[in-house]
Amino acid sequence: LKKKYPDVKFLGAMYGEELARHFADADVFVFPSLTDTFGLVILESMATGTPVAAFPAPGPKDLIPGSGAGAVSEDLQEACLEALKCDRARCREYAEGFSWRSCAEDFVKNLKPQPKPERRRIWRRIRRLGRPDRKPLF
């Protein structure tokens, strides 16, 4: 990659405060993946006040549109230019709305109870099978 992109600085793995500083120093965090799902790094970037530009893939399209904390587009350059217009304070505010508790609560809200089968109705239909003098089942 260094040969192909000589102007790019490859910084290697970072953690904690060092990683947060790099996120905060960026104008925009570009999330180029088409296959990652949730993308925790999206929220890490937003938490430092840095807006996110991404493709409208699963994960980014669930987090970014309407948040005021980034932009998604099939054209990543367009997403970057749009993300530059985002208010950094709004990015941080949006990210602070996520916690393990809030994510778990959202997950539970999306679980739908399965209806119990109507046993009586089913048995009535079964009993009618083979009785031509009865009205049709359906």
Residue 40 falls inside a structural domain: yes
pLDDT at residue number 60: 94
Residue 115 falls inside a structural domain: no
Rounded CA-CA distance 28/50 in Å is: 6
pLDDT band at 136 (very low <50, low <70, confident <90, very high): low
User: Taking residues 65-75, what's their average pLDDT?
Assistant: 96
Residue 116 falls inside a structural domain: no
Residue 133 falls inside a structural domain: no
Q: Residue 92 pLDDT more than 60?
A: yes
Segment (H or E) for 54: strand 52-54
Q: What is the CATH number of the domain that holds 34?
A: 3.40.50.2000
Residue 2 falls inside a structural domain: no
Residue 72 DSSP SS3: strand
Residue 3 falls inside a structural domain: no
Domain count, the chain: 1
Residue 136 falls inside a structural domain: no
pTM, 2 dp: 0.71
Give the amino acid at 79: A
